[in-house]
C-alpha cells in the first residue's frame, strides 16, 4: 500500500484532527475528557492544531496520505532541537506552577481538570528525564487511523525524525504508554525506555492504571546506520519544508 509524506498546512487540520480523535477511546483518554462531547473536543483540537500548523516555529507537522484513497491516515508532530549553542533556561517552580494554573483555568469545565493537571505534571517529568538536558528531536504526537494500523503508515514519519537526529548527532525522544502496540516499532528504531510514570485512574473516576513511559534513542553514525525499517515498504517522498527540518 503506497503512502506519501507531506508537510501539513492549515488546510489539512480537520483531517489530521479526525485521525487524532479516532485514537481517543482508550480509558486514559476517556477519563481526561470527562463529560466533554466528541464534537466539542474535536472543535477545540482543530483550533489548537490549526494554530500550531500555521506557525510551525521549532516544530513540524507531517502526515502520510494513502495514495489510492487520497485520505490522510497518519500524522506526526516533531519538535526540533534548539539551535546549537542556545541556552534554554529552566523555569522556576513558581513559574511552572503559574503556567500550570493558567493552563488549567483555560480548560473547558466539562473536562476532568484534576486528571489533566496530573497528566501534565507526569508527562513533564517523563520528558525531562528522557531529554536529560540534551538537544533532541522530540516526537510530541504520532497518530494513525485504526483502519491503517500495522500497515506502515506511521513508520516513515518516525524515520523522518531519527534520520535528522542522526545527521545532527543528537538524541531523539518520545513518550508513549507501556503497552502501546507502537512501542515495538520504536524499539526497532533504537528507542529504549528510560523512565515511567503511573497514573492511577481510580483517583479520577476511572478504572485501573495507565503507565506512561519515556524513551530515548542515541544517534547513530550515518555511514553505518543499519537498513531502514521501511525499505521493504512502498513510499514516495515530497520535498520537506526548507527549514532546519
Q: What are the DSSP calls for 88-134, one per residue?
A: -PPPPHHHHHHHHHHHHHTS-TTS-HHHHHHHHHHHHHHHHHHHTT-
> According to the model, what pLDDT value does residue 145 have?
92
CATH code: domain 3-237 is 3.40.630.30
pTM for the model stands at: 0.87
Q: Give me the residue label for grid cell 481538570.
A: 113
Can you give the residue ranges of every domain in the chain?
3-237
Sign of the four-CA dihedral 49, 50, 55, 60: positive
pLDDT tens digit at each of 245 positions of the chain? 678 999 999 999 999 999 999 877 788 999 999 999 989 999 999 999 999 999 988 999 999 999 899 999 999 999 999 988 887 778 888 999 999 999 999 999 999 999 999 999 999 999 999 999 999 999 999 999 988 988 889 999 999 999 999 999 999 999 999 999 899 999 999 999 999 999 999 999 999 999 999 999 999 987 654 444 443 333 333 323 333 33
Q: Which cell numbers hold the place of 229?
A: 525499517
Q: Checking phi first, is residue 150 left (phi over 0); if not, alpha (psi -120 to 50) or beta?
A: left
> According to the model, what pLDDT value does residue 244 have?
33
> According to the model, what pLDDT value does residue 181 have?
87
For the chain, list the strands marked E by DSSP.
3-7, 59-66, 72-79, 136-144, 171-177, 192-200, 209-217, 235-237
Q: Is residue 220 classed as helix, strand or coil in its secondary structure?
A: coil
Of residues 154, 161, 123, 169, the one with CA closest to residue 230: 154
Q: Which cell numbers hold the place of 43?
A: 472543535
Amino acid at each position: 500500500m503506497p503512502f506519501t509524506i507531506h508537510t501539513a498546512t492549515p488546510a489539512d487540520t480537520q483531517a489530521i484532527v479526525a485521525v487524532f480523535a479516532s485514537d481517543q477511546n482508550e480509558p486514559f483518554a476517556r477519563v481526561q475528557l470527562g463529560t466533554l462531547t466528541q464534537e466539542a473536543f474535536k472543535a477545540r483540537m482543530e483550533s489548537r492544531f490549526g494554530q500550531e500548523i500555521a506557525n510551525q516555529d521549532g516544530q513540524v507537522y507531517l502526515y502520510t496520505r494513502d495514495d489510492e484513497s487520497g485520505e490522510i491516515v497518519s500524522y506526526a508532530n516533531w519538535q526540533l532541537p534548539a539551535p546549537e549553542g542556545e541556552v534554554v533556561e529552566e523555569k522556576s517552580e513558581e513559574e511552572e506552577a503559574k503556567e500550570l494554573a493558567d493552563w488549567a483555568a483555560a480548560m473547558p469545565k466539562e473536562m476532568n481538570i484534576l486528571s489533566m493537571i496530573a497528566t501534565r505534571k507526569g508527562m513533564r517529568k517523563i520528558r525531562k528525564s528522557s531529554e536529560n538536558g540534551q538537544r533532541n528531536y522530540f516526537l510530541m504526537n504520532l497518530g494513525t487511523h485504526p483502519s491503517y494500523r500495522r500497515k506502515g503508515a506511521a513508520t516513515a514519519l518516525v524515520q523522518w525524525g531519527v534520520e535528522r537526529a542522526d545527521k545532527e548527532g543528537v538524541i531523539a525522544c518520545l513518550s508513549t504508554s507501556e503497552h502501546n502496540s507502537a512501542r515495538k516499532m520504536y524499539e526497532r528504531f533504537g528507542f529504549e525506555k528510560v523512565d515511567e510514570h503511573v497514573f492511577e485512574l481510580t483517583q479520577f473516576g476511572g478504572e485501573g492504571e495507565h503507565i506512561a513511559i519515556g524513551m530515548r534513542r542515541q544517534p547513530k553514525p550515518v555511514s553505518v546506520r543499519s537498513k531502514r525499517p521501511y525499505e521493504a515498504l512502498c513510499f514516495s517522498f515530497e520535498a520537506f519544508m526548507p527549514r532546519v527540518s
